[in-house]
A = this chain, B = another copy of it.
Amino acid sequence: MSLLITGSIGIDTVKTPFGTASECLGGSVVYCSMAASFFSPVRFMGVVGADCPFDLHKTFAGRPVDLKGLEVRSGSKTFRWSGSYAGDMNQANTDAVELNVLAEDPPIMPEEYKDSEFVFLANTNPALQVAMIEKLSSPKLIVADTMNLWIEHTRADLMNMLTKINGLVLNEGEARMLTGNYNLVAAGGEILELGPDFVVIKKGEHGSLLLTKEGRKFVLPAYPTASVVDPTGAGDSFAGGMMGYLAGIGKTDFDSLKMSIVYGTCAASLAIEDFSLGRWHTATKSDIENRREELKGMMSF
């Protein structure tokens, strides 16, 4: 089924213990669409400035990614992010950020995207996420991401957004901040009371946790790997694998959600093996499937 992904497109500069990648392509909709494209056609939606040095048509060449929703805004500048990772690399330190075009109007949703059934709203201002939702004619599954900025500064908008989505994907620090509850199972339960039918709490190298309103739980370790070069885009690749899988099979039941988390986990484990989109340029569907089998083997008893 149709999958719409909206989010940021960025010029990223990243430092990790393994090196530095300067001015490379990044952004949530880019990572997410890349991972999702292995499972489902993607309707891509994001905006860059006239200064954008990347040809996204080339980036996604040969992949089922519709770029009708890519807006190049003349007179505007592209979003830029510089970050670094140290230690366990579970958390990015933002060294510099220039919102640029992200602080302006959101991209316009093409008419042909409005009937999208599966929708992923990557992290952005929750008021914009709601505006996006209101344009959809027949959504079947709306999943959103969020971050500390909105939890702290636009809480009312965030609360409103939570009543309009089916699933929320966020990391453990955000889940704790949103609820004030340090226990992740309890925090997840509180988030479900705010609206969503399910919540996925991402724990980086420690895996993830899925909780549903019906009280079902799914816990999954991350794919254990020593090959972590650059964690940037791991969360968005996770969401991409997850949403791509669900849109690909057109289902939203609990067993499908579980399997989508597995594919998200495998996608994230690939994304972190190289800087920027490096690993996605070489990854195959078989790599993802092999990793799923391997992970299953490493947790069977």
Name A residues whose Cβ lies closer than 8 Å to a Cβ of B: 87-89, 176, 182-186, 189, 203, 205-207, 209, 217-222, 224-226, 228, 255, 258-259, 261-262, 295-296, 298-299, 301
**Distance between Cα atoms of A258 and B300 in the complex (Å):** 8
Asked if A221 contacts B219 (CB within 8 A), the reply is: yes
Asked if B209 contacts A207 (CB within 8 A), the reply is: no
**Distance between Cα atoms of A31 and B182 in the complex (Å):** 25
**Distance between Cα atoms of A218 and B301 in the complex (Å):** 9
- CB-defined contacts of A203 to chain B, threshold 8 Å: 206
Integer count of this chain's copies in the complex: 2
* A16 smallest CB distance to B (angstroms): 11
Asked if B185 contacts A225 (CB within 8 A), the reply is: yes
Asked if A301 contacts B262 (CB within 8 A), the reply is: yes
**Distance between Cα atoms of A271 and B137 in the complex (Å):** 51
* A/B interface sample: 27 pairs, CB < 8 A: A88-B176, A88-B182, A88-B183, A89-B182, A89-B183, A183-B226, A184-B205, A185-B224, A185-B225, A185-B226, A206-B207, A207-B207, A209-B221, A209-B224, A217-B224, A217-B298, A218-B301, A219-B221, A219-B222, A219-B295, A219-B298, A219-B299, A220-B221, A221-B221, A261-B301, A296-B301, A299-B299
Given A207-B221, A221-B207: A226 and B189 interface contact (C-beta under 8 Å): yes
- CB-defined contacts of A298 to chain B, threshold 8 Å: 217-219
**Contact among B205, B258, B301 with A301 in the assembled complex (CB-CB below 8 Å):** B258
- CB-defined contacts of A259 to chain B, threshold 8 Å: 301
* A245 smallest CB distance to B (angstroms): 12
- CB-defined contacts of A206 to chain B, threshold 8 Å: 203, 206-207
Please name the residue on chain B nearest to A221 by beta carbon: B219
Please name the residue on chain B nearest to A205 by beta carbon: B184
- CB-defined contacts of A189 to chain B, threshold 8 Å: 226
- CB-defined contacts of A88 to chain B, threshold 8 Å: 176, 182-183
**Distance between Cα atoms of A88 and B183 in the complex (Å):** 6
- CB-defined contacts of A184 to chain B, threshold 8 Å: 205, 224
- CB-defined contacts of A255 to chain B, threshold 8 Å: 301
- CB-defined contacts of A225 to chain B, threshold 8 Å: 185
Please name the residue on chain B nearest to A300 by beta carbon: B258
- CB-defined contacts of A222 to chain B, threshold 8 Å: 219
